[in-house]
Structure 1
Amino acid sequence: MAGVLSSEQTAVASAQHAGHGEIPTRAVIRLLMGLKWTLWKRSYRKNVGKIVGTVIGSLYALGGLVGLTFAFLGTTLWSGGGETFPLILRTLGVAAVLLWLLVPLLAFGVDDTLDARAFALLPRRARELQPGLFAAAALSLPSLFTLAAVAVATVFEAIWLLLLGPGPLWTVLALIALVPANLAGVVLCLLLPRAVFAHQAGRASSRSGRELGGILAMVVFLAVVYAFSVGMQSLGSLDLDQLLPTFLVAVDVLAWTPIGAPFAVPMDLAEGAVLVALGRAAVTAASIWLVWRWWRRSLDAAMTSALTGDASSGTAKVSALVPRWAPSTALGAVIGRSLRYWRRDTRYLAAISIYPVMFVFFGAMGFVLPESRSFMMIMVVAMGGLTGIAISNEIGFDGPAGWVNITAGAPARANLLGRVVAAAVIVLPIVLVLSAAVSVVLGMAAHLPVILLGMLGLVLSGWGASVLAGTLLPYPTSPPGTNPMKDKSASSANAMLSMAITSAAVGVPQIPAIGLAIWGLLGGGPLIELLAGLVAVLIGAVVLVVGLRLGAARLERSYPELFQKVRAFV
């Protein structure tokens, strides 16, 4: 990239008779737009999946434009009065800006094509690159479809103002402000993700910040999806007549924020609220200026961090490998190392960060739908039990670092048991506390013994199945510190077979305990429930002991061969 830019700069400077390093802003804009176009075209070479995805996405977008057109027709020309048209416009404006803001925050795995760090070695400041980067940002299918949707809305706004407007003066004022206000909304839509991407790039030199940011984005995304699902399920029990005033207040409040201010200005003028329109226009102008400045500072920070690299003060806290409460043996060393993995490795963090969201989701669904509380509690217990399979690919997670265990001669049993103990220290308290909280919220506190003991039994079964499956069917994974959503290892045959076996091994041995639990819950009484929980724990302990013994024998006998399967990251 740097070579292309340097040759282009030289050509432009020669044509303009400029000195060394000088380049007009228009030339930078043309150059970056051409670079964005070239990179966009090359991204489709031999990428059938992206081509198919783009075609499908474009068809959906075209269908959305058609649906939007008919919606506007129904609320303007076909409705006669068109009283709901201003409300619909304000709502769609809020949705558009909010969507553009949330995409870079929640769509982990989405990268900025023209990353600011790629320009770090060039003798250009953010002030010089910013106009070109903004113009290049508009050169994308989402930007073009957004512009098309705003154009359709602008046409129908003009039609509504001319045919159904409240008066000549307000109509003229609204028509004058219509195009500038809507264009300001489009500008804000494009600026927000640019600024967020640049801010994320500026922080990307910190590995811990990058990892935690990816995990947080994933958790927020799942929380938004589940919250939407819970909200849709609760609509049936809500009174729409009571909900509508709250919705109107929410739209009006958001219209005073950068999210909804731009597209609300023309309708405010049409309704005669001049002061309100001026206030929201000021909010829009201030928002664009502030986001532009934020983007510039983030670009400078990103380009600087790309040159300096990962900063390290050299004052990192050094702690003992073996925890104080663990034995000073090979088992303690494995426990300490595994605990560090759980705290620092993105793959482990991603594995445990999802479960709190799932527990809250099941609890919320049971609270919203009382008739489904029993089923949701069963899902909580099953989800808690499945946390045991989080260690089903421990050998694969070691990757090329597994040679240390071979050369150090670490005992196979200690190597596997230490990983189980570390998982128990990190995961088990979270699972038990959350499941107890959900059971109390759903009014099932009387069944806590069978719930907690049954979940503990399932977790023990999962650990036993995992340590065995991890030594029989290990598979390579993405390296530590990478985006967990970009891990392609799950598509391998070993991964699918391992997950299927371990998932089955969690529940199948527990069938006697499950039968006793059903008997107790259907009328057998608290003693039968307690017996079911104890049987579940006993079965889980047996599965764990057997899994450890067989897994240790397999690891002791075939560790070099297993290392060969996972020595490289995918």
Structure 2
Amino acid sequence: MARRLTDPETGALSPAIGDLHAVGGMGHGTIPQRRLIPLLARLKWTLWKRSFRKNIGKLIGTIFGALYGIGGLVMLAVLLGGAALLLDGAGPDAFGLLMRGLGALLVLGWLVIPLFAFGIDDTLDPRRFATLPRSARELQTGLFAAAAISLPSLFTLLALVIASVCEVLWLLTAAPSGMATVIAAAVLMLPANLLGLALCLLLPRAILAHGATRQSSRRGRELGGVLSLVVMLGAIYGFSLAMQGIEDLDAAMVLGYLRTAVGVLAWTPLGAAFAAPIDIAEGHVLVGLARLVITLAAIALVWLWWRRSVRLALRSALIGDATSGNAKVTALVPRFAPQNALGAAMGRSLRYWRRDARYLASLGVMPVMLLFFTAMGVLSPSQAPMAVGGVVFISGLSSIALSNEIGFDGPAGWVNLTAGIRARDSLLGRVAALAVFTVPFAMLCAIVVPLLVGMGDLIPLVMLGSLGAMMGAWGVSCLVAVTLAYPAAEPGTNPMKDRSSSSANAWIASFAAMFGVWVPQLLAIGLAVWGLIVGSALIQLIAGLVSVVCGALAFWLCLQGAARILDRRYADLFQKVRAFV
């Protein structure tokens, strides 16, 4: 506890931590529970302030986040205020639809966004309090109060204040029912909004606490992070596709779908709290009371689940995560690989690609992006060439995952350094491991996607172009990996919470690899465009062959140069990446 929650500069305990030791130390039981709540809130505030020391990036990010938050509040006030003050027949209906929909999106955002990014930090991880003689029941209220100390919590509270003011205006000017229901809705509005805020704070805390228990394995958390990334990208691409096709839809039909979706969400814990006052104001008293019951039941269940997770987290912090000893042992060198140093490097990398979330995220993004390009080509025939070109594009980008291979090794790189393995074998083994996953997938997509969009005659060009782009990308990535290595996040890190990209080397390496992929393919791209314009299958075939030859030549040249650099500078590179960020 003391070691983890100390001042990063002086190493001294914060005043709040000292008080916590007093609360949980020899005087256990003499300090009332009501003192523990402000102590935990003070601890969260102290640690949050100190996290900005010598962290200019976080300070700048927080300032920009606050500016975006203020802009969002202004937009919310204009949107809800305009809907509340409409005097025609659409006014009441528009405001009710907005309040129910935005309320459900607010709770959903608090549930989902912290899992994808950094909206909710885990500063007060329950496991850090395991050495204090305090139960989960005693800690829970204080942890809940501490969860409210954050910028997202502040902006959520301000948003609810704006929504409440606009709701009062709506009740006074455009409420569709009688005075009695209007008064009842006004009285119920504040408690309902506070219940919605409580649910917003509870959901992420309960999920994060569950992730800290032994029941949530490290493997499960890693796969959950990768799945979160894939789902988020899928949602973004799906929204983009919907926006592209929305102009072809009937406005009345879209509004009908929207009403149906909001109506369903209002009967779930996501939207029940914010829909209840609107229902009562519209004269549906029993419906509003039923939704309040749903909200209270959801809060109670999440509270009990959180308490159970905190209790298990406290226990797991003390007894550890011992393994059963039944782990399956497999040969380091796969049977299909050469039984030498090259095969050993390939086998080690294959294990990384199967088990490490940092690598799995790269593989998971590839099919999502390809599905997006394919859907564009299927839904809009004019976008078919983009779908076919997307196969080559994604094949090349998928191979730049090797651009920080040395950094991903981290402190484990000393094994390669001291074993005396040749740099060429080490790099080639890493490339071979990636090729096992990406080449079959790329070749399959090069056949399936052109057939789906009605351009089957381009299959040879797409297959050869994808293979050439991948080979060139392997070589460029190897060269970037040994010249611009940077520290990476440790294994098991959620891909959405990886802070390694904050360094200048990371940005330079990413851009160098991304643009360097296409330099060897410029001649082939020019020939392919020429062949497509004139409709010559022979020129297209020549373009594909040129792509393969240029890619193979770029791979061989870059691999030779990267191997020489790595043999000469491996010790220096290890010093740069030996500590995880």
Question: TM-score, normalization: structure 2?
Answer: 0.88
1:36 paired residue number? 44
1:541 paired to 2:552: yes
Give the drift of 1:565. Answer: 4.8
Q: 2:34 aligns with which of 26, 29, 42?
A: 26
Q: Which letter maps to 1:418?
A: G
Q: Residues of 1 paired with 2:370 and 2:274: CA distance?
A: 39
Structural mapping, 1:284-303, within 5 Å: 284-303=295-314
8 Å Cα contact 1:458-1:506 kept in structure 2: yes
Cα pair distance change 1:341/1:66, threshold 3 Å? closer
2:182 paired residue number? 171
Cα pair distance change 1:200/1:532, threshold 3 Å? same
1:58 paired residue number? 66
Cα pair distance change 1:157/1:316, threshold 3 Å? same
1:126 paired residue number? 136
8 Å Cα contact 2:214-2:321 kept in structure 1: no
Report Cα offsets for 1:289-321 as digits up to 9, x if no partner: 111111111111222222223331111100011
1:319 paired residue number? 330
Cα pair distance change 1:309/1:213, threshold 3 Å? farther
Q: SS at 2:375's partner residue?
A: helix
Q: 1:209 aligns with which of 200, 220, 231?
A: 220
1:339 paired to 2:350: yes
Q: Which letter maps to 2:360?
A: L
Give the drift of 1:19. Answer: 7.0
Between 222-231 and 75-84, the greater mean CA deviation after superposition: 75-84
Q: SS at 1:507's partner residue?
A: coil
Report Cα offsets for 1:480-524 as digits up to 9, x if no partner: 333445555556565555545544543232233223322332234
Q: SS at 1:481's partner residue?
A: coil
Structural mapping, 1:84-483, within 5 Å: 84-107=94-117, 110-165=120-175, 166-202=177-213, 206-483=217-494
Q: Which letter maps to 1:520?
A: G
Q: Residues of 2 paired with 1:477 and 1:7: CA distance?
A: 34
Q: Residues of 2 paired with 1:469 and 1:49: CA distance?
A: 25
Report Cα offsets for 1:357-390 as digits up to 9, x if no partner: 2212222333444433323432331221122222
Between 455-464 and 178-187, the greater mean CA deviation after superposition: 178-187
Q: Residues of 2 paired with 1:69 and 1:435: CA distance?
A: 49
Between 217-226 and 463-472, the greater mean CA deviation after superposition: 463-472
Q: Which letter maps to 2:51?
A: S
Between 249-258 and 210-219, the greater mean CA deviation after superposition: 210-219
Q: Residues of 1 paired with 2:208 and 2:471: CA distance?
A: 43
Q: Which letter maps to 2:548?
A: V
8 Å Cα contact 2:387-2:449 kept in structure 1: no
Q: Residues of 2 paired with 1:553 and 1:110: CA distance?
A: 45
8 Å Cα contact 2:391-2:462 kept in structure 1: no
Q: 2:524 aligns with which of 491, 513, 525?
A: 513
Q: Residues of 2 paired with 1:449 and 1:363: CA distance?
A: 18
Between 156-165 and 34-43, the greater mean CA deviation after superposition: 156-165
Q: SS at 2:519's partner residue?
A: helix
Give the drift of 1:204. Answer: 9.2
Q: Residues of 1 paired with 2:507 and 2:150: CA distance?
A: 36
Give the drift of 1:62. Answer: 3.0
Give the drift of 1:457. Answer: 0.9
Cα pair distance change 1:389/1:135, threshold 3 Å? closer
Give the drift of 1:555. Answer: 4.1
1:45 paired residue number? 53
Report Cα offsets for 1:73-104 as digits up to 9, x if no partner: 32233435532221121112112111111122
Q: Which letter maps to 1:60?
A: Y
For structure 2, the 5+ residue unaligned runs are 3-12
Between 38-47 and 192-201, the greater mean CA deviation after superposition: 38-47
Q: Which letter maps to 1:264?
A: A
Q: Residues of 2 paired with 1:456 and 1:323: CA distance?
A: 24
Give the drift of 1:560. Answer: 4.4
8 Å Cα contact 2:230-2:365 kept in structure 1: yes
Q: Residues of 2 paired with 1:474 and 1:175: CA distance?
A: 60
Between 48-57 and 80-89, the greater mean CA deviation after superposition: 48-57
8 Å Cα contact 1:199-1:299 kept in structure 2: yes
Q: Residues of 2 paired with 1:506 and 1:202: CA distance?
A: 43
8 Å Cα contact 2:37-2:143 kept in structure 1: yes
2:10 paired residue number? none
Q: Residues of 2 paired with 1:340 and 1:358: CA distance?
A: 25
Cα pair distance change 1:236/1:327, threshold 3 Å? same
Q: State the superposition RMSD in angstroms.
A: 2.9
Q: Residues of 1 paired with 2:451 and 2:38: CA distance?
A: 62
Between 557-566 and 509-518, the greater mean CA deviation after superposition: 557-566
Q: Residues of 2 paired with 1:107 and 1:13: CA distance?
A: 33
Q: Residues of 2 paired with 1:321 and 1:264: CA distance?
A: 58
8 Å Cα contact 2:203-2:302 kept in structure 1: yes
Q: Residues of 1 paired with 2:344 and 2:522: CA distance?
A: 36
Cα pair distance change 1:448/1:87, threshold 3 Å? same
Q: SS at 1:202's partner residue?
A: coil
Q: SS at 2:224's partner residue?
A: helix
Report Cα offsets for 1:432-466 as digits up to 9, x if no partner: 33444433333323311111111011111112233
Q: Residues of 1 paired with 2:502 and 2:204: CA distance?
A: 31
Q: Residues of 2 paired with 1:433 and 1:65: CA distance?
A: 48
8 Å Cα contact 1:13-1:22 kept in structure 2: no
Between 375-384 and 280-289, the greater mean CA deviation after superposition: 375-384
Structural mapping, 1:523-538, within 5 Å: 523-538=534-549
8 Å Cα contact 1:331-1:417 kept in structure 2: yes
Q: Which letter maps to 2:284?
A: A
Q: 2:85 aligns with which of 77, 91, 110?
A: 77
8 Å Cα contact 2:181-2:280 kept in structure 1: yes
Between 309-318 and 224-233, the greater mean CA deviation after superposition: 224-233
Cα pair distance change 1:21/1:358, threshold 3 Å? same
1:67 paired residue number? 75
Give the drift of 1:253. Answer: 0.7
Cα pair distance change 1:415/1:96, threshold 3 Å? closer
Q: Residues of 2 paired with 1:414 and 1:552: CA distance?
A: 9
Q: SS at 1:401's partner residue?
A: helix
Between 221-230 and 205-214, the greater mean CA deviation after superposition: 205-214
